[in-house]
Amino acid sequence: MRRSRRLAVAAALVAGLVVPLNLNCSAPLRIEPLQRHDAPLVVDDDLALARRYAPAIFHAVDATRGRQDLPTRVDFDGTLRGDDNWESFPRWELPPVAYYAVLRTETHLFLTYHLFHPRDWEPVRLGVHLTHENDGENLQVVVDRASGAVVLLFTQAHYVGGVYAGVEGGAPAVFGDGAEDVRGTFRLFDDDGRPDPDGTHAGVFVQERGHGIYGLTDSCAEVVVDGAGVARFDEAGLVLLPAAPGEAPGEPDLVGIGPGPAPVARYRLESTVARLGPAFRDGTLVGEGGLLDRPLRFTSPLLTVDVPRYYEADRFSGPFGPDRGISPFAVDFDFGEGEVGALFFDPARRYADRLRVPEPWSLAYEAHPFVP
């Protein structure tokens, strides 16, 4: 969260960990005319389902340099390389995009969403991990198949994940504390962004600069949403709702953004598995010259897989290397060996291990894109 990042900045200053200060505020954020990568987004048969449960995203943005806070496609500049995105950023359009992946058991749906930003940034670049090339954060929505209702929201903020159970003003929680504590309730919205306890779009708050994701009811969510769905951020922000079929919105206009009711824009969806799966399987997605890097082994009774934790990068981020943004596959409560990726590749088992889950609760998937 932003408060944590500010504390980290102060700690770095006190500890003397600062390299010579580099002010990022002078570099241009747009170089006109912007180029646009027009290749169609890659989707699969789960697109309609992913759209139905796609999150309502309440995204804080910086009032003057907020272009760096727009989530977009991982190949916004036409390549699946991670080490050229900082340089490409000012010259390319950033149409809002979120990534999705769907797993089914007999009892539940697990829909994982990923937001990618070409930059994680601070106005003053320090010699710690507060500014780096490429940024990714994840969230997951769990749906009861019998009722079609959202029953659990997972969000990832930097390297820590948390869950929200039970609809604020609606259905009670069917999950309970286990090794992980439930952080609170979640809030649902209808297709037009209005609060609705029977809605299908879980509301999430995304930070500016660091882009950590929290449930809207969390104390870290710096936004107030009224009964009509009008959002007012502590400083400035943008509401992003899933686009209708056939709609192809461009980059939102952030000129003049600030206090007051936040503007609403639309985002499209692209399939994580269909877009990144082939290169993940053949090894070209991970490693130098690819999009992702730093794999760790995850093993469950279902599968064993090397999960890339970070985006590949070559700019900033401090003494431990530039690769830092969280990958679309690195979804879990924790971020270590044997844990990272658990909620992406085997969420039913992971929730059963870490929470009190409802009954019935199946551990068997109807199909799995990474299990033969």
Q: Which tens digit of pLDDT belongs to each residue from 324-370?
A: 999 999 999 999 999 999 999 999 999 999 999 999 999 999 999 99
Read off the tokens for 194: 């209005």
pLDDT-derived band at 17 (thresholds 50, 70, 90) equals very low
Which amino acid, residue 211?
H
CA–CA separation, 223 and 1 (whole Å): 13
Which amino acid, residue 109?
L
Whether pLDDT at 19 is above 60: no
Residue 231 has what pLDDT? 98
Residue 15 has what pLDDT? 40
- pLDDT digit string (tens) for 171-214? 999 999 999 999 999 999 999 999 999 999 999 999 999 999 99
Whether pLDDT at 2 is above 90: no
Q: Could you tell me if residue 286 is left (phi over 0), alpha (psi between -120 and 50 degrees) or otherwise beta?
A: beta
Asked if residues 152 and 45 have their Cβ atoms less than 8 Å apart, the reply is no
How does the average pLDDT of the chain come out, rounded? 92
Residue 25 has what pLDDT? 60
CA–CA separation, 163 and 155 (whole Å): 6
Query: How many residues make up the chain in this entry?
Result: 372
Residue 11 has what pLDDT? 43
CA–CA separation, 319 and 177 (whole Å): 37
Read off the tokens for 240: 């992003």
pTM: 0.94
Percent of residues, the chain, with pLDDT higher than 90: 87
Residue 321 has what pLDDT? 87
- pLDDT digit string (tens) for 207-235? 999 999 999 999 999 999 999 999 999 99
